[in-house]
Structure 1
Amino acid sequence: MESSRACVLAALLGALLAVCASAQPLKCTATLKGWARLPSSAKAKVPHNAPSFFRTTGRFSGPGNRRNDTLGAFANCAAANPGRCTQYRIPFADQAVQGFSGIKTIRDSNGKPTDEFWVISDNGLGNKRNSIDSMLFFHRMKVDWKKQSFSREKSVFLYDKDRKVPFTLRNEETGNRFLSGADFDTESIQPIGDSVWIGDEFGPFLIEVSASSGRVRSFHETPNPNDTPGQPLVRSPDHDALQLPNPEAPMPAFNLKRSKGFEGMARWGNFLYPLLEGPLYVNGPNGSRMYEMHDGLEYLRILKFDTTTKTWVSGFSLKYPLDANGNAIGDFNMIDEAHGMVLERDNNEGEPSMACSPGAINASCWEAPARFKRAYLIDLSAADADGFVKKVAYVDLLDIKDPDGVSPVSKGGVLTFPFQTIEDIDVYDAEAQTIIVGNDNNFSGRTLGKADDNEVVALHVPGFFTGGQGCE
């Protein structure tokens, strides 16, 4: 009897442990199937009908963001490690292609991958003040896995000739009113029909443009998912409606960190699912203000937009829980109607094995090497009563298996993706259980003293297509 009772208790305990273990995301093995690169030096010529001002980029990237028209006037160095510089100097001629912040696989009529992709470049050099002479555009790219090349086929520049944007643009009185990095920070892309929908970080806003010409078709503010009196919209400090008051007046109300708008935006059917990169700032206990948290951890909001009616879906808001406060997301795309992939990262860059010693930051080490770079599989249909999506499984992008030596930069059969901003993820070939991941290089992350290329990798991750089955 005692033996039988012990067996029953052991079985119950085992079942309980299994349930607890399954509540944690499973780690999936990712095996490298393809690696390609776009040289960091890739440039695009501006359209013939664009202002000549755009034929030089980076005039305002020097001290105090003060103008300097001399090509190559400034070294391209890390703010936190001034001795760590790349081979490039700023300003430079033409427009830099690099800085991909969103990707969508282009498929044939049978749904098969064509080895072509839509990608979008971000606002330019990082913020409104230093990106005045950066144009906004998206690109059609082609990968050749054998040649390991990622090449640009065409670029589509954004412009607002019909004055759909309700505020003054930097190029307000020019012929076509081309958009610049002083107007928007374009971070996510979704083609639907003959339109391309773009998620912006400055507002945050949604922008619809022509897929063929880049002409703005519609513009949309972001509703506040919280019922906060006096704050019907989500607004970052870069929202166009905000301005600093006189010293004796209260500060204007905003409820989102700078550069924390729509970094990722998934699509299923005619619906878009924009995902904020940062938590909302809300009313806390006893009149305090705080970032949205659950059990001490910040979370992000997923909203829903109907592209048929061009309206937000009222009352819809899911929550994405971050692994650590201060983490950010890089991209978001769907696998099927219920499951999506989210890139989550820390703000670090560089190989962990080359970390600087305490108090000895110099050009030969990384002052804050990469620690957390993951691609998560999430289940939207399994959201709990509070609206939190379920993190089912993940891939560690600092531990990509490369047993066949596919990448020339792998070491010991492992490829790391140690970039600060990994901002591109999508299903590449569902039949082959393969996803594609790419970096927004920000000119550094892999090699000290060198501007890194934009890399894209094809990863075989069976667990992402089986709901985590086969992952540990």
Structure 2
Amino acid sequence: MRRRQIAPVVATALAATLLAPLTTLTAAASGADHGAAAHGAPLHDASSHQTTRTVDRATLVARATLSADYLAPGPASGALATPANGRTGPFAGQVIPGFSAVLDAGDGTFWAQPDNGFGSKANSADYLLRLYHVDPHWQTSRHGALTGSGEIEVEGYISLRDPDHRFPFPIVHEDTRDRLLTGADLDIESVVRAQDGSLWIGDEFGPFLVHADRTGRVLEAPVAFPDGKSPSNPTLAAGEKPNVPSSGGFEALAASADGRYLYPVVERALLDDTQARRRWVYEYDTRKHRYTGQRWAYQTDMDGDMVADAHTVGRHRLVIAERDDFQGAKAVIKRVYTVDLDRTDAEGYATKTLLFDALDIANPGGIGAGDGYGTGDPFSLPVQSFETIVPLGHDRYLIANDNNYPGNDARVPGTPDDTEMDVVEIRPTRVATDDVTLIGHRGAPAYEPEHTLASYATAIRLCADYIEPDVVSTKDGVLVARHENEIGGTTDVASHPEFADRRTTKTIDGKAVTGWFTEDFTLAELKTLRAKERIPATRPANTALDGLYQVPTLDEVLDLARHSRTCDGKAVGVYPETKHPSYFASVGLPLEKPLLAELHRNGFDRPGSPVFIQSFEVGNLRALHRMTRLPLVQLVDCSGAPYDLRAAGDPRTYADLVTASGLRDVARYADGVGVCKDVMIPRTAAGTLGTPTTVIRDAHRAGLVVHGWTFRPENTFLPTDLRSSADPNAYGDMTAEVDAFLAAGMDGFFTDAADRGTAAIRAAARS
């Protein structure tokens, strides 16, 4: 293990850097170029004959890392740490297990604060709480060449200690002179600097606010949280119920510009909170030494997401880092939002606006390339504990990770993650745009289990314009996203013995179906299940993600969409399909009014909202036509007839709906048709693409847009002449297939692989 000789820092000269003002990397170091056109101005690129526009794009401009195995001076640590990734304690010095919080020292260096060491009180008594003074020797890219070593140099540290006995409870080093604090005393996760240079530190064990001077000496007793204690709180009495979950305290802490007010944020939902996605931002007055009683609600994207860091960027305005608990290819949410505490949405939550997605950062200079998963272009920080966001000014932000040494291995499986510091700049960037509507069919199921937030988020990153949730109802009337109401094939319900007696046979749209059905489960029960790959024989790689992700509510899908942006900077659209509407109406769970209510609650019913509502049935679309002005789409299957027509004795089939007269009738209640590919361009007897029918032309003459479904990359779904091999699961030439349909006049399409759909659209534009 590598070990550098560094000294503890208590001297005035180095500690004084804690008082320094915020500064930034220079434009020269980052190679910044702000010569792009004004935002939103369409441009014509003569070389590619494509329309382009300028959008804000998070771009990697600098990166530096510290070896995961780095050891700082001090006694051995990690004797009880959980072995992982080939590392077993004790370690011959003090581990630096990543950075949970960072302060800008103002001179190009930083003060970086690890957490309590190894994750719990029980295994961290030998870990000393410190802030390390670090100097990143940035790797940057300039004029196509990489410069800088990309290493983080550790120059010194200050130790947190309580020699004046401010703590009212025993600590590990209770009877020593210095009373150095350890990871069994506090779990320090966040830090801000007061105007006098002193430090306010957010802890998770209490959770407490801890005040220390610039050398780390505790100045006053830890401030208790007014709304409960965690299970690790040293003052928790026998029989007293905690209200803060373990590791659910002050991961994030911000301060007002003048330092008077602190804004600690609980990382997870309080235990008495009925809203699993609600987190609270509190206000503490450092002059009056008390909480003000003011708090604001923040809503996470998913139930299990954590508020990982926060900084003020104006009065009652914060930047907040939000993360899930996954790493590597399994990561879904590693995002930075701008939050306005003075504005609330329809549900009473502080409004949040996406600043950037740390899983989708442009890296044209190839900074960090080859360092493992996520270090290409785009670059990502797919670590489990993305826990640091520091505004550096001039649209630049520092992000960093806690590597939970030795446990995390997001970059290279089996190797502990290094600690890394990345500088991201929000740059005006020209991107291609077009008028073809790209719909992420059930998200991006070529790469993720369908109808999960992971699948939808991936589709957005892969440049889908719309995401498509199929909508069914729970027993308690909550709309959720599933391809069918029978969930045996898309969740792990069969492995839950408590639900074994729910397996039954029902008649759905005239067919007997056996399994488990959403309408027999409450939302709370459904949330105990996890999604799995629907077609594992075709997409075996996706089975590695089985058992990870919840069944999302429609509200969660809409939230994700409205807090995201497309690759060309527009609002992400939603394209919900009402599944089996006649059946759900027959069991007292009609879909139409709840769907419109959810769209309204999330602001998707305003003029110009990017929404299409679709259905394979006719009657509920006619009903929706009377209830809303949102665009409606009549789905057309490859064969057969709408179930509601069959049930009513109406002889019309889907083939009748796409005749010229049938399409004119559809246009009386719908704005478009979603058509099976074979109806637009049938396949020949040999399985190749045949001659286009008149359906697209006739639909356009009736004033309808035409969206085709479903374009998939695997050979088994492609025309025979576009397959790459005899392997049914290998990818073939989906680009050529899409091109044929676009040439026939199709306006947009559903695809399982939005990246390949995007490539096909661009190829068609070039041709």
Q: Give the TM-score category using the shorter length.
A: 0.7 to 0.9
Counterpart of 2:161 (choices 159, 162, 175) is 159
| Partner residue in 1 for 2:230 | 236
Q: Which is strand-richer, 1 or 2?
A: 1
Counterpart of 1:142 (choices 135, 144, 151) is 135
Is 1:312 equivalent to 2:291 in the alignment?
A: yes
Task: Quickly say closer, same or farther: Cα 1:403–1:261, change in 2 above 3 A.
Answer: same
- Structure 1 segments, 4+ long, off by >6 Å, are none
Is 1:59 equivalent to 2:91 in the alignment?
A: no
- Residue 397 of structure 1 deviates from its aligned partner by 1.3
Provide the C-alpha distance between the structure 1 equivalents of 2:88 and 2:115, rounded to a whole number of angstroms: 20
Residue 331 of structure 1 aligns to which amino acid in structure 2? Answer: D
Cα deviation, 1:258-297, whole Å, max 9, x if unaligned, reads 1110000011222211111011122xxxxxxxx341xxx5
- Residue 28 of structure 1 deviates from its aligned partner by 5.6
Q: Which is helix-richer, 1 or 2?
A: 2
Q: Do the aligned residues in 2 keep the contact of 1:28 with 1:393 (CA within 8 Å)?
A: no
Aligned length: 362
Q: Do the aligned residues in 2 keep the contact of 1:328 with 1:345 (CA within 8 Å)?
A: yes
| Partner residue in 2 for 1:97 | 96
| Partner residue in 2 for 1:442 | 404
Q: Do the aligned residues in 1 keep the contact of 2:265 with 2:280 (CA within 8 Å)?
A: yes
- Residue 147 of structure 1 deviates from its aligned partner by 2.3
Residue 239 of structure 1 aligns to which amino acid in structure 2? Answer: N
Cα deviation, 1:40-61, whole Å, max 9, x if unaligned, reads 1222213xxxxxxxx1112223
Counterpart of 1:33 (choices 61, 68, 72) is 61
Cα deviation, 1:371-413, whole Å, max 9, x if unaligned, reads 2211112112323597621111242211111011122236552
| Partner residue in 2 for 1:253 | 241
Provide the C-alpha distance between the structure 2 equivalents of 1:332 and 1:342, rounded to a whole number of angstroms: 4
Is 1:381 equivalent to 2:373 in the alignment?
A: no
TM-score by structure 1 length? 0.72
- Residue 89 of structure 1 deviates from its aligned partner by 2.2
| Partner residue in 2 for 1:274 | 264
- Residue 332 of structure 1 deviates from its aligned partner by 0.8
Q: Could you tell which deviates more after superposition, 121-130 or 448-457? A: 448-457
Is 1:414 equivalent to 2:378 in the alignment?
A: yes
Provide the C-alpha distance between the structure 2 equivalents of 1:275 and 1:326, rounded to a whole number of angstroms: 15
Residue 127 of structure 1 aligns to which amino acid in structure 2? Answer: S
- Residue 337 of structure 1 deviates from its aligned partner by 2.4
Residue 313 of structure 2 aligns to which amino acid in structure 1? Answer: I
Is 1:122 equivalent to 2:115 in the alignment?
A: yes
Q: Larger radius of gyration, structure 1 or 2?
A: 2
Cα deviation, 1:288-346, whole Å, max 9, x if unaligned, reads xxx341xxx52111111222333222x21011111110111211112222432111111
Q: What secondary structure is seen at the aligned counterpart in 2 of 1:35? A: strand
Q: Do the aligned residues in 2 keep the contact of 1:399 with 1:414 (CA within 8 Å)?
A: yes
- Aligned-residue sequence identity (percent) comes to 31
Is 1:424 equivalent to 2:417 in the alignment?
A: no
Provide the C-alpha distance between the structure 2 equivalents of 1:303 and 1:221, rounded to a whole number of angstroms: 13
Provide the C-alpha distance between the structure 1 equivalents of 2:229 and 2:136, rounded to a whole number of angstroms: 37
Q: Which has the higher contact order (CA 8 A, sep 6+)?
A: 1
Q: What secondary structure is seen at the aligned counterpart in 2 of 1:422? A: strand
Q: What secondary structure is seen at the aligned counterpart in 1 of 2:68? A: coil
Which 5+ residue runs of structure 1 have no aligned equivalent? 1-26, 47-54, 63-75, 78-84, 108-113, 225-232, 246-250, 283-290, 353-368
Q: Do the aligned residues in 1 keep the contact of 2:81 with 2:88 (CA within 8 Å)?
A: no
Task: Quickly say closer, same or farther: Cα 1:338–1:312, change in 2 above 3 A.
Answer: closer
Which 5+ residue runs of structure 2 have no aligned equivalent? 1-54, 139-147, 429-563, 571-767
Provide the C-alpha distance between the structure 1 equivalents of 2:282 and 2:65, rounded to a whole number of angstroms: 33
Is 1:395 equivalent to 2:360 in the alignment?
A: no
The 5 A counterparts of 1:211-222 are: 211-212=214-215, 214-222=216-224
Provide the C-alpha distance between the structure 2 equivalents of 1:383 and 1:343, rounded to a whole number of angstroms: 19
TM-score by structure 2 length? 0.45
Q: Do the aligned residues in 2 keep the contact of 1:57 with 1:94 (CA within 8 Å)?
A: yes
RMSD in angstroms over aligned alpha carbons?
Answer: 2.3
Counterpart of 2:252 (choices 260, 264, 276) is 264
Provide the C-alpha distance between the structure 2 equivalents of 1:292 and 1:120, rounded to a whole number of angstroms: 33
Task: Quickly say closer, same or farther: Cα 1:415–1:386, change in 2 above 3 A.
Answer: closer
Cα deviation, 1:72-129, whole Å, max 9, x if unaligned, reads xxxx32xxxxxxx23x22111111123311112222xxxxxx2211221100100000
Q: Do the aligned residues in 2 keep the contact of 1:35 with 1:456 (CA within 8 Å)?
A: yes
Provide the C-alpha distance between the structure 1 equivalents of 2:97 and 2:80, rounded to a whole number of angstroms: 18
Q: Do the aligned residues in 2 keep the contact of 1:434 with 1:462 (CA within 8 Å)?
A: no
| Partner residue in 2 for 1:199 | 202
